[in-house]
Amino acid sequence: MPHKIRTLQTYFEEIWIKGNLDMLPKLLSPNARTRGIMGDMPFDPDELSELVSMAHALFRPVSVSFPVLIEQDDWLSALVEITSVAKHSNKPIQVSNQMLVRFDDERMVEIHSNVDALNLFEQLGLLPDNAMAVMLGGTPLR
């Protein structure tokens, strides 16, 4: 298995599933940047730790699959399917994440993550069903 794919799989397994943030130095370059749900910023292990903790408070352990993986030069593009169960309702959750990851040798140095957060929050019951359609119709969520 190519090292980029193995590194991304390890990132999800160790960080997001197990909560093992001690693995970060092996997976991420010291000058890593991330762009996604938290904006565009230098990678901050403390913020990731907080984000992982918040996610673990909302849903049970996740299962992750990679239906599409495309490598080119220093880049790995991945479609990530995430499944779990909401802790407060026991309802199943399925959300997708499109990622573009640039590598510097064996470690990730740039991560673009576009998780379908609107769909995730709908499934968690934190937004009404069809929130996107409601907002596109001009109705504010209050």
The fold adopted by the segment(s) 3-116 is Nuclear Transport Factor 2; Chain: A, (3.10.450)
pTM: 0.86
Q: Which residues pair with 107 in a beta bridge?
A: 104
Which uninterrupted H or E stretch holds 119?
helix 117-123
Domain positions in the chain = 3-116
Q: What is the pLDDT of residues 89-117, one digit of tens each?
A: 999 999 999 999 999 989 999 999 999 98
Query: Contact, 63 vs 84, CB < 8 A?
Result: yes
